[in-house]
A and B are shown apart, each in its own frame.
Chain A
Amino acid sequence: MFLRIEVAQHPEFADPAASELLRQVELSYPAIRKKIRWARCLEVFWFDFPMSREEMIPAINEVFWDPVLKWMFSGNLIPSAAGKHGSILDLMEAAPHRPGRFWALETRYRPGVTDHSARSALTALEVVAGRSLPEGRTASGSLLLLEGPQLDEETLAVIAREVLCNEMMETWTLYSEAELIKSDRFHQERIRRDLPKMVLRGADRMDTFSLGQLPAGELAALARKRNWNLSEAEMVAIQQHFANPALRELRQAQGLGDPTEVELETFSRCWSEAARGKLLSAEIRYQDNDPLLGGPEISREIDGLHAQTVGLANAEMQRPWMLAEFQNGTGALAFDDDDAITLRSEVHSDSLALDPRAGTASGAARVVRGAVAVGPGARPFAVNDVLCTGALDYAGPLPERLRHPRRVLAGFRAGLEQGITLSGVPVVGGAMVFDERFLGKPQVVFSSAGLVPRALIPAPGNPDDPNIPRPGDRLCVVGSAVGRDGFQPPNEMISSTLVQRVDPTLQKKVLDLILEAREMGLVRSVTTVAEGGLSVAAFRVGYLAGGVRVDLASLDQKISGLKPSEIWVSETLERMLVALDREKHGLFMALAERRGVPVADLGELTRSGHLEVDWGTRRLAFVELDFIQHGCPRVKLDAVWSVPAEMPQALPGYYFSQHGRQALLELLARPNIASKEWLQRGVDHELQGASVLKAFSGPIQPGESHVSPNDCSVLRPKSTSSAGVAIATGVAPRYSDWDPYLMAQGVVDEAVRNVVAAGGEYGNTDSVLALAASFSWADPTQDSFSLAGLVRGFYGLRQAALELSTPILAGNHAFSEEYRGQVQGKDVRVPIPGTLTVTAVARVPEVRYVRSADFKSPGDGIYVLGAEVLGLVGSEYHSMRPGNLPGTRPRLPEPRWDGARRIYAWLGGTQGKEQVRLRSVHDISDGGLLVAVAESCLARSLGAVVVTRDEPWEAWFGEGFSAFVVSVSEADGLLMESEWTELGIPWRKLGTVNATSKLEVRNQQPDGSVESWAVEVGELRRAWRKDGYWQ
C-alpha cells in the first residue's frame, strides 16, 4: 500500500531543527526572519510497501512514533499518534498566536540523489517485519511549517530557494493553510506520484568519433564541445595514435573502429590536471623582471616544477624511515618496527560556496577514503582541516548562486560531521583564513594521518610484492551504485550536477569492510574512486599490473539511463576499487554480503598491456596503457615575475603606548586569530580514544570556556605504544601578495615549529618528521604572472624543506582556483591569493613529555626563543591596518635557518633531554609575540608582565620565522638560560607570569624610562572568543 507519514516534535518541546533553520534565515535574510513568528520542522516519509494495513500500522508505530516526543500524522491511518484531530491541525492549534496564518514548505530529493534516511526507513521496516522487502520503495523529505501574518508566497520562495533547499538535489512545494488542512497529500494516487521512479538498467548507447584527418583546430573545437578538457596538442596526439594502421587492424578484430566516447573520456580524465599533474611536469621558461632585488636562484628553464623542487629536495634527504613518497598521493613514515604513519593532504574547493554542507561533506568523506587507500588499507586516526573563505563581515554583493561566508562556516561544520565524524575519524585541528578573494572560491585542505603495518606498504618496482596488483587478480567495486550525481565535466567552474550528498552509513560500512578484509588477508590493494571515477582508478590499478579488463554492465545504477561513458567517469561517492587474489575473491564476496555492503564484480587484471572496457559482450574501449601513461604531450609555459607590491613607508607619530592596547584587542578578535573553539567543539576530535594534546588546553569548567589554543595536536595511535604523533598545519596566503617564495618558506617553517613546539622529534637523522604540501592557485596556464608566483612558491617550499631537512612525502594541488562568474550581472574574475598549505607530521617519542601552550603558574619566567628577524610587513596587523606602518623601518620577515635548526633540535630532543623544564611552549605566528603571550594567559586567567627594549610595534606584532614564547619555573630559569647560551640558541627574557589576571606590557625607552599599559585577561578572552560573532 501507499503511505505518507509526517513526524513532528511534540509541541511541548523545543524543536532544535526549526531553531537551526531560523538561524540560517537570520544569517542571510534578517527581514524575512522577523516575519516568522513560529516554525516547526517535520520529517516526511513516502512508502510503497507490499504489506497489509494490519501489518503496516504496528510497524509504522514502532519505527517512527516516539510517544514521549513525537506526533505522527498519517492521513487517517493512525489518528491516535497525535492530538485530538490526529492531523497537522493539532500542531497548528498549539502555535502561540491564534488564529495563526500558516504556510508550509515541503522538500523532496530529486531522483537518483542519495536518500539514506529513506534507505534506513526501509531497513527498519524490514527488521520489524522480519523479512526483506525487495519491492518496497521509500523516499524521505521534510515539511517546514511556518506561521506569520506577513508571510507570502514570494517570501516563502526565497526561504525555499536560498535557505531550505539545494535545488540541485531537492525540489520543493509550497502549501497554503487550506491545502495543509485538506490533506490531499495523503491520497494513494498522490503518494504514488510523489515517489521517485524505480531503478532500471541503463542503455548501452555510445558514440564514436572519426578523428581521421580533422585539422587541429577542429579537433580542439570537438574537445571543447564535448567538454573533454583535452588541449589541441593532446587531441592531435590521440588522432595520430589511432591513425596507426596496425592498431586499426587490431581494433577491427574486436569490433572497434574510430575512437569511442569511452576511450576519449578515458584520455580526458586520465590526462586531466588532477590525475596527471601536467602543469607540474611542464617545461617552464621563467623570467624575473626584478632580478636586482635578490632572491632565490630559480632556473630560467625549469624541466618539471615538481621534479626540480620537491623531487630534488627529497632525493637529497633520503632517510630509512621514509617508506613511501607520493604513492597515489600518500606518503608513509616509519612509526616503529611494525607500523607506519601515512600522510596525505588534498585540496577541495569546487562546491563549497554552492552548498557548503554537502560540498564539505563530500570532500571530507573522499579524504577519509583516500586515507584508507594505502596498499590493502590503512586505518586513519586523524584529520586536520584548513578552511579559506571570504571575510565574515563581507557586506557587498554576492556572486550569483553562491553563499555568504557565514553560511559557508555553518555548513562547513555540519559537513565535517557528516563526512568525517560519522566515518569514525576524529577531526583534530586545523586553521582558518578569511580573505575577500576566497568569497567565490573557498578552499578547504584536508590532511589525514593513518596507521598501517609496514609490511603492507607496497614497494614499487618489486613484482613479487604481495601488495602490488598483479595479472589474474579480480577487480571489484565496493560500495555505492553509480549515479549521475557524481558526473561532472572536468574543470568546469560550476556544474549543476556537481554537488553530491554523502551516505555516511554506507561510507563507514565500506571502510569497515575493507579494514576487516585486510586483517583477514583478503585484500591485495585498495584504490579510491575519486576524480575521473572508475576511468582513472581502473587505469591506475591496471597500469601497475600490466593490463586490465572491466565490464561496466556489472555495475548497478541508482537511476536508469546512464550511458556507459557516464558510468565510466561518474564520481559517485562511497566507492573503492579493490584488487583481490582470485583465490580470495569468494571469501571477500561472502564477507561483503554478511556486512551488507554492495560489491560489483567489475573485471580482472591481465597481462595484455591494454585497458579493455566492455559492456557485456560488446567492447567499448581498447587502449594501450603505455600510451595513456606516456602519450600525453608535454605542456610548455612561460612564467614572468615582477614584484607585485611596493614596500610600505614608516608612519610617524603613531605611538604604541597610545594605540598598542586597542590594536592587541582588535587583533585577538580578527577572524584569522579569534578562537575556533566553537568549530572544534562542533566536531568529534576524540574518536578512537587516542587524543593526547587537543587543539585547546585548559581546566574544565561549566559556563564560559577558559582555554588556550595549542600549536598542534598529538595522538597516540597505538594503544600498545607510549609514542605519539604530532600533526599541525601552516598556511599564510597573505605573504603571497609580497612574494610566494617567502610565503612558502614561512608556511613550511610554521608547520614544523608547530609540531616541535609540542614535542615532535627533530634534528637527528632518525627523527621522523615529514611534510605534505598542497598548493591552491589561480589558473597558472592562463597567466604568466600567476605561474611565476607558483614557481616561486615551489622554490620556497624546496628551500625551506632543505634548510630544515624535512622531506615532502605527499600533497595534491588545485590550479584553477579563481572565481569566474557574475556579480550583479557583470562578468568578473577573482583569483584567490596564492595559497600553500603544509601539514607536518612528526613522531613524539614519549607522549608524557608533550607540552601545551598555556602558562601554568605565577612566578614562571617568560622567554622568547628565536624571533631574530620579525617583520610587520605582511603581518596580520598589516592586513588590519593596510598601507604605511608604524615603527622605524617596516620590513618583511626573514628566515634565520641556523638559529631555527638549533632551536628545533633543542626542542625536538636531540640533546637527549625531553625538556621537561619547559612549562609551556607556544609559537609566535598570526598577530605576533604579544598575541602569543595573550593566548598563553587565557586558560588559567594568569597575568604577566612583559618587557621589550626594541621598537615596540615590530617587537610585539611582527611575524616571522622560528619564534616561540616559552615559560620556565623560576627555579629552572638560570639553568635554561645558560643552556641556551651554550647551544647558541637566540633567547631573551620577556617577563614573568603572575596571579594578577592582568597583562602588563612595558616598553623601555632608549633613555631608560618605561611606558606601559595593562589589560585584563578577561577582556582579552572576550575579544578572542568574539561571542556571538560566529553563531
Chain B
Amino acid sequence: MSTPRKPRALVLTGEGISCERETAQGFLRAGFDVEVRHLNDLIVERFSLDQLSARFQVLVLPGGASHGADLGAGKLLALRISHGLGWDFSTFVARGGLILGVSNGFQAMIRMGVFGKDLSIARNIDGKFQDIWVRVLPSGSRCVWLKGVGQVELPVRHSEGRVMIASFRRREVLAKMERYGMMCLRYESDFNGSDERIAGLCDPTGRIFGLMPHPEAFLRWTAHPDWTYQPGRSGSPGQGAELFNNAFQEALRSI
C-alpha cells in the first residue's frame, strides 16, 4: 500500500506580502504540503496555469501590504498576477483547484475582477487602519471553505476594507450575488462601511474565496484576545483553523 498523497498548497510571497509564514502554517496544520514561492520567481519561470494545476490543489494570496498599498491596496499585485502570470482562476478551479485570498490577497482578487467588474474596495469609512477582532457570520452554503462553519471571531487588520458595489448597477450585482451565494461572509456589525457588511466573497463555484479577516491569525485558541478567561481551552485550535481543514477535505477529493 502506498502512502496517500497529500494535497499541496502554493502560497505566494514577495513584494511586501507579509503573512505567508503563518498562512503556510494554517495549511500545514490542516495536512497540506505547502510551498511558499516568490511571485518574481514564478513570473521569471513563466509558471503556467497547467503547471499550477498539475502541481497544486490550492493557490493562496496571503495578507500583507504588497507594494506598500501604492495605487490602492492590492492593485499592483493584481496587475502582476494578471499580466505577469496570466493565470485564469476560473479554469484552475474548474480543474478542481481552490483559491484563497486573505486581506491584501482579497483586495488583489477584487481588483482583478474575480468577483465581477462592478465591485471595488476602498479605504475604511473613517480612513483609519484598524486591527480589531470582529464576529463574522457565514451565510449560504456555496463557499466550500466555510462548510459547516458557524459564527467565528477573527481579527481584521487593514485600512482598505470597505467593499463597494457600483452604484449604477447595484441591484443587478446584488441579485447576482444572491443567485450564486457569493456574499458568503458578513460582519455581525458594521465597522468599516463595507457595503452589505461584506467581510468575504466567493465566486459562483464557491471554490474561490476571499476575505478581509485573517483566519491564519487564529490557528490557536491562545491568539484570541479573551482566551485567558477560559484557560482550559488553551490547547484547542482557533476558529480560523476550520477554513484550512475544510480546504483539506475538499482538496483530498481532487488528488
Residues of A whose CB lies within 8 Å of any CB of B are 9, 12-14, 16-17, 19-20, 62-64, 66-69, 116-117, 119-121, 123-124, 127-128, 130, 413, 417, 421-424, 503-505, 508-509, 512, 516, 594-596, 680-694, 696-700, 702-703, 705, 707, 716, 719, 847-852, 854, 856, 916, 939-940
Contact = CB atoms under 8 A, between A and B. Distances in A.
A691 B67 CA distance: 25
A504 B70 CA distance: 10
Given A116-B68, A681-B132, A688 B164 contact: no
Given A689-B223, A692-B223, A504 B231 contact: no
A504 B65 contact: yes
Given A117-B70, A686-B155, A702-B189, A681 B130 contact: yes
B40 A596 contact: yes
Nearest to B71: A120
B4 interface: no
Given A19-B126, A504-B16, A504-B65, 5 more contacts: A69-B164, A422-B16, A594-B40, A682-B130, A700-B153
B222 A696 contact: no
Given A13-B122, A69-B122, A121 B40 contact: no
A16 B131 contact: no
Interface string B102-146: 000000000100000111101111111111111100000000000
B246 interface: no
Contacts of B223: 686, 689, 691-692
Contacts, number: 191
Interface string B212-232: 001011011011011011010
Contact of B135 (A681, A702, A716, A850): A702
A698 B71 contact: no
B217 A686 contact: yes
Contacts of A856: 228-229
12 contacts: A13-B122, A16-B122, A19-B127, A63-B75, A66-B72, A505-B68, A508-B15, A685-B131, A689-B22, A700-B226, A848-B222, A852-B228
B71 A121 contact: yes
A689 B25 contact: yes
B189 A703 contact: yes
Contacts of B65: 421-422, 424, 504, 508
B17 to A, nearest CB: 8
Contact of B228 (A680, A690, A719, A850): A850
Nearest to B132: A681
Contact of A17 (B72, B75, B127): B127
A943 to B, nearest CB: 17
B188 interface: yes
A62 B225 contact: no
B167 interface: yes
A458 B126 CA distance: 47
B198 to A, nearest CB: 14
A689 B64 CA distance: 12
Contacts of A120: 67-68, 70-71, 76
A117 B155 contact: no
Interface stretch (B78-86, B90-98, B178-186, B200-208): B78-86
A16 B125 contact: yes
A68 B123 contact: no
Contacts of B189: 702-703
A817 B75 CA distance: 43
Contacts of A694: 225
Contacts of A689: 19, 21-22, 25, 214, 216-217, 219, 223
Contacts of B117: 67
A688 B18 CA distance: 8
Interface string B44-71: 1000000000000000000011011111
Nearest to B22: A689
Interface of B: 13-16, 18-19, 21-22, 25, 38, 40-41, 44, 64-65, 67-72, 75-76, 79-80, 83-84, 111, 117-120, 122-135, 153, 155, 157, 159, 164-167, 188-189, 191, 193, 214, 216-217, 219-220, 222-223, 225-226, 228-229, 231, 234-235
A68 B164 contact: yes
Indicate the member of A62, A684, A716 with the most B CB atoms within 10 Å: A684
Contact of B67 (A66, A123, A684): A123
Contacts of A421: 65, 129
B225 A719 contact: no
Indicate the member of B25, B68, B83, B235 with the most A CB atoms within 10 Å: B68
A339 to B, nearest CB: 15
B16 A697 contact: no
Contacts of B234: 847-848
A424 B64 contact: yes
Given A687-B18, A851-B228, A130 B133 contact: no
Contact of B118 (A68, A503, A504, A939): A68
A14 B127 CA distance: 10
B225 to A, nearest CB: 5
Contacts of B68: 116, 120, 422, 503-505, 508
A128 B120 CA distance: 20
Given A62-B79, A697-B225, A848-B235, A124 B71 contact: yes
Contacts of A854: 228-229
A719 B135 contact: no
Nearest to A857: B229
A699 B164 contact: no
Indicate the member of A686, A693, A697 with the most B CB atoms within 10 Å: A686
Contacts of A130: 83
Nearest to A689: B22
B231 A16 contact: no
A20 B188 contact: no
A850 B219 contact: no
A119 B71 CA distance: 10
A123 B78 CA distance: 13
B228 A700 contact: no
Contacts of A504: 16, 65, 68
A114 B172 CA distance: 44
Indicate the member of B111, B135, B220 with the most A CB atoms within 10 Å: B220
A63 B228 contact: no
A680 B79 CA distance: 32
Contact of B166 (A67, A692, A705, A707): A67
A688 B22 contact: yes
B83 A127 contact: yes
A9 B164 CA distance: 12
A688 B219 CA distance: 12
A932 B217 CA distance: 30
A124 B77 CA distance: 9
A164 to B, nearest CB: 16
